[in-house]
Amino acid sequence: MMRVSGENLHRHAQALFPICRSITGEGLRRTLAYIAERIPLGLQEIPSGEKVLDWEIPPEWNVAGAYVARLSGERVVDFADNNLHLVQYSLPMDRVVPREELKSHLHSLPDQPDLVPYRTSYYKPDWGFCVAHSTLARLTDEAYRVVIDSRLAPGSLTLGECLLEGESRDEVLISTHCCHPSLANDNLSAIAVAIEMARALQERRRRFTYRFLFMPGTIGAIAWLARNRERVHRIRHGLVLSCLGDGAPPSYKMSRRGDAPIDRYARHALSRRGQESRVRPFSPYGYDERQYCSPGFDLPVGALMRSPNGTFPEYHTSADNLDFIRPEALADSYALLDEIVDMIERDRIYVSRSPYGEPQLGRRGLYGDGEGYDWMSMMWTLNLADGRHSVLDMAERSGKPFASIAAAAAAAARAGLLAAAE
């Protein structure tokens, strides 16, 4: 398949980085608009107050500006400098606040004194600012003026959905959260990879139907699941994408089932790269796999990341910026996803039409030189084509790459030795 350049992927992150996204609001809409310019994207607005599973869509939050200023007017913390400075869903205000009260609303990282943390208060009415810990020492005035020009009011939550129909109505789900403000790895990296994968899939023959979801984490996934409860049984394979741009090797978190085909595809791909130890068991914490893998749904959805959430020092801080994500890492993440998609598309059951004794390969020219498979891959393929082994099963049992078995099976099918099972 097509390779995508890391620079190309990084440019999406550059374009989207300045926008202040949240779980609702104009920043989220602008992000989805950017995506919609590149791939066919359907948008849904879900009104505040709508019941979605055990939850309720919150009011919409928008912010025009926010700062903390000395009474002299000098701004000491300003949302205009970095949208992480404002705790998300902070209530509007404009008043003079005594220093001690202010401090109880300031969040910082004593162990990483130069970084600004990322904080939210979606469901508890509150306000606050996030600052570098080093800033705190400089706040010696008796009182400060705090201005938050935000609006928290009934509105809606926006979902973006790109559906690429395939030969089958069975679906592959690719889900990315889009609610974080200026954080590059978490999750512009994954948005960039998803955009390009959707583009590439538009151009190829698709056995499966692909559904890309771009939406806020947790509440977005819950809203989508609430509205698509009758449809989720069509999802055969799914991946939550996040943190795909940092320098660590890729990792995979298994679905709750643990033995779904997607789990085996990802494991195979990582083990071929010598990174099988980066396959982690399911845990009910992380990103939206939590929702897809809740017990009522229990979908075959795993999570593809490089550094897992919470395991890198830049996580949820101002250090998760455009320098932190690397073009070569983005390109490598894309290539891995592409490899997994290729397995999803090409895995199938083959049945031998000549199962008694070995077929004579010599007279058929099936020794494989230069055809993407080697002779032993052909031998394994013919031996295991009993209607009980998929291409992946053959690859796992033989120790051969999936691609080599798939190529051998295709060649043997062309020679009339195998038939693809329905």
In the complex, the residues that contact a second copy under the rule CB under 8 A are 52-55, 123-124, 218, 221-222, 225-226, 229, 256, 283-285, 290-291, 293-298, 352, 354-360, 362-363, 376, 379-380, 382-386, 398
Residue 44 or 218: which CB sits closer to a second copy? 218
Residue 110 or 362: which CB sits closer to a second copy? 362
Residue 163 CB-density burial (10 A; 0-12 exposed, 13-18 middle, 19+ buried) = middle
Residue 35 or 240: which CB sits closer to a second copy? 240
Beta bridge partners of 61: 152
In angstroms, what is the minimal distance from the CB of 364 to a second copy? 10
Neighbours of 106 (CB within 10 A): 17
Residue 73 or 295: which CB sits closer to a second copy? 295
The whole-angstrom distance between residue 265's C-alpha and the CA centroid of its chain comes to: 17
In angstroms, what is the minimal distance from the CB of 55 to a second copy? 5
Residues with Cβ < 8 Å from 120, sequence gap 6 or more?
A: 22, 87, 88, 89
- The three-state secondary structure class of 303 is strand
Residue 98 or 284: which CB sits closer to a second copy? 284
In angstroms, what is the minimal distance from the CB of 379 to a second copy? 4
Residue 70 or 348: which CB sits closer to a second copy? 348
**DSSP annotation string for 368-395:** -TTTT--HHHHHHHHHH-EEEEEHHHHH
In angstroms, what is the minimal distance from the CB of 304 to a second copy? 20
In angstroms, what is the minimal distance from the CB of 207 to a second copy? 25
- Compute the C-alpha angle 3/394/411, nearest 5°: 65
In angstroms, what is the minimal distance from the CB of 229 to a second copy? 7
In angstroms, what is the minimal distance from the CB of 30 to a second copy? 27
Residue 110 or 296: which CB sits closer to a second copy? 296
Q: Is the dihedral of CA 81, 85, 88, 90 positive or negative?
A: negative
Radius of gyration of the chain (CA): 25
User: Which among 195, 213, 130, 158 is positioned nearest to 21, based on CA atoms?
Assistant: 158
User: Residue 210: what are its φ and ψ, rounded to 5°?
Assistant: -110, 135
Contact 410, 378 (CB under 8 A): no
Write the Ramachandran bin of 25: left for phi over 0, alpha for psi from -120 to 50, otherwise beta.
Answer: left
In angstroms, what is the minimal distance from the CB of 355 to a second copy? 3
In angstroms, what is the minimal distance from the CB of 118 to a second copy? 19
Residue 147 or 213: which CB sits closer to a second copy? 213
Element (H, E) at 66: strand 60-70
Residue 88 or 189: which CB sits closer to a second copy? 88
Q: Rounded CA gap, 91 and 105, in Å?
A: 12
Q: Tokens 């709508």 — which residue?
A: 50
Residue 18 or 416: which CB sits closer to a second copy? 416
In angstroms, what is the minimal distance from the CB of 376 to a second copy? 7
CA atoms within 13 A on the CB side of 146: 21
